[in-house]
Amino acid sequence: MINKQNNKLGWLFASPYIIFGLVFFLGPLLWSLYLSFTNWDLIAPEFDFVGLDNFRKAMAAPGVQSAFWVTYKFMMLFVPLVTAMSLAVAVVIQGLPKFKSVYLIGFFLPYLSSGVVASLIVQGFLSYNSPVNEFLRGTFGINIDWLGSPFSALFIVGLILAWKFTGYYALILTSGLESIDKEVYEAAAIDGVSDRQRFWKITLPLLYPALYTTLILSFGVTFGIFTEVYQLTGGGPNFATNTWQMEIFNQAFTNLQAGYASAIAIMASIVTFISIFVIRKLLESWGKRNGWV
């Protein structure tokens, strides 16, 4: 009797999120899945069922193929960068005698900032006639097209994202560091453990749960990159920074192909799901192999 009542209460408390999820996630997902088999443009009163045509077209499209690979390129750049930066910030802040929260808030602020504004500032900073480039040309005689070459464009976007997310992940890692029992470090100090050993043998294993969280989050970020790319490069040069979200946007809101864009969105969801699943398994096996979990 009590169990049944508890169940009802549980459902009641969970219902707002369940309803929200059904209305704003599951419903649109199913509708999008249906549309991916049509040629609807969102406006026309009639549309046709086109079977798998949208998926076939997407598989062969350079924009979709580039989105697939660019995501992994961003991953290889962004994940190590943001992990190293957030870990460094967390370790430094944890070692501070006071005002830890103030510093953490300072690093967290970029996460709250507008991606559009940050991108526009970077754009101005890197423009041909910015003081930075005037200085480089005047002093060293070099002219760098920061957003016009594939690698540097990718790097700049990755750097902006790392700047934005470092504080957020540092917050998670700091709480992980705070939860490590100080006595473990004291015992290690008595045993004459070096700083390097202390980090690799004590800090990292005990930080693993927090690190696992930030790694999964950062891998996830790379599948959702849009604003910075939209503002800075438009997916160029030559698709070098074209992401899934950019491709979906272009097809849905520029070319008005809602059916085709839905097919790309479904493909992006499947790729994201499989990739995150594999990454999660690899991270878990890394933890298990080292005896951290």
Partner 1 sequence: MKKSRVSLLLAITLVGGTVLAACGNGGGSGGQSADGVTTVEFWAAPNPPQQAFWQDMAKEYEAVNPDVKVNVSAIKESPSSEASIQAAIAGGNAPTVAENINRGFAAQLSNSKALVALDELPQFKEMVESRNMAETIAPWEFADGHQYVLPIYSNPMLIGWRTDFLKEIGYNEPPQTYSEVLEATAKLKAKYPDKYMWAKGADLADPTAWKRWFDFFLLYNAASDGNKFIEGQNLVADDKAGVEMLTFVDDLRKAGGILAQNATDPFETGAGVFTDIGPWTFDMWATKYPELKYGENFTLTLPPVPDHMDPANAKTYADAKGLVIFSGAPEASQQAAAEFLKWVYANEENDVKWFKQTNLPPARDDLNEVEGFKQILAEKPELALYAEAVSKGVPAMDNPKFNELQTLIGQEAFNKVIRGEIDPQTGWNNMKKAIEGEL
Which residues of this chain interact with partner 1, rule CB under 8 A? 24, 27-29, 31-32, 35, 41-45, 62, 115, 123-124, 126-130, 137, 145-148, 161, 164, 220-221, 223-228, 234-238, 244-246, 248-249, 252-256, 258, 261-262, 265, 268-269, 272
Nearer to partner 1, 211 or 264 (CB): 264
Is residue 79 a contact partner of residue 222, using CB atoms and an 8 Å limit?
yes
Cα distances (Å, whole numbers) of residue 148 to 50, 72, 74, 90: 38, 20, 17, 34
Nearer to partner 1, 61 or 91 (CB): 61
Is residue 125 a contact partner of residue 132, using CB atoms and an 8 Å limit?
yes
Considering the complex, what minimum distance in angstroms separates the CB of residue 40 from partner 1? 9
| Residue closest to 89 by CA, chosen among 152, 197, 176 | 176
Give 243's DSSP letter: -
Considering the complex, what minimum distance in angstroms separates the CB of residue 262 from partner 1? 7
Considering the complex, what minimum distance in angstroms separates the CB of residue 102 from partner 1? 26
SS3 assignment, position 130: coil
Nearer to partner 1, 165 or 208 (CB): 165
Nearer to partner 1, 35 or 75 (CB): 35
Distance CA 272, CA 221 (A): 10
Nearer to partner 1, 99 or 253 (CB): 253
SS3 assignment, position 49: strand
Is residue 232 a contact partner of residue 164, using CB atoms and an 8 Å limit?
no
Considering the complex, what minimum distance in angstroms separates the CB of residue 219 from partner 1? 11
Nearer to partner 1, 237 or 287 (CB): 237
Is residue 264 a contact partner of residue 247, using CB atoms and an 8 Å limit?
yes
Considering the complex, what minimum distance in angstroms separates the CB of residue 148 from partner 1? 5
Residue type, 29: L
Count of CB atoms situated within 10 Å of the CB of 270: 10
Distance CA 126, CA 147 (A): 8
Considering the complex, what minimum distance in angstroms separates the CB of residue 36 from partner 1? 10
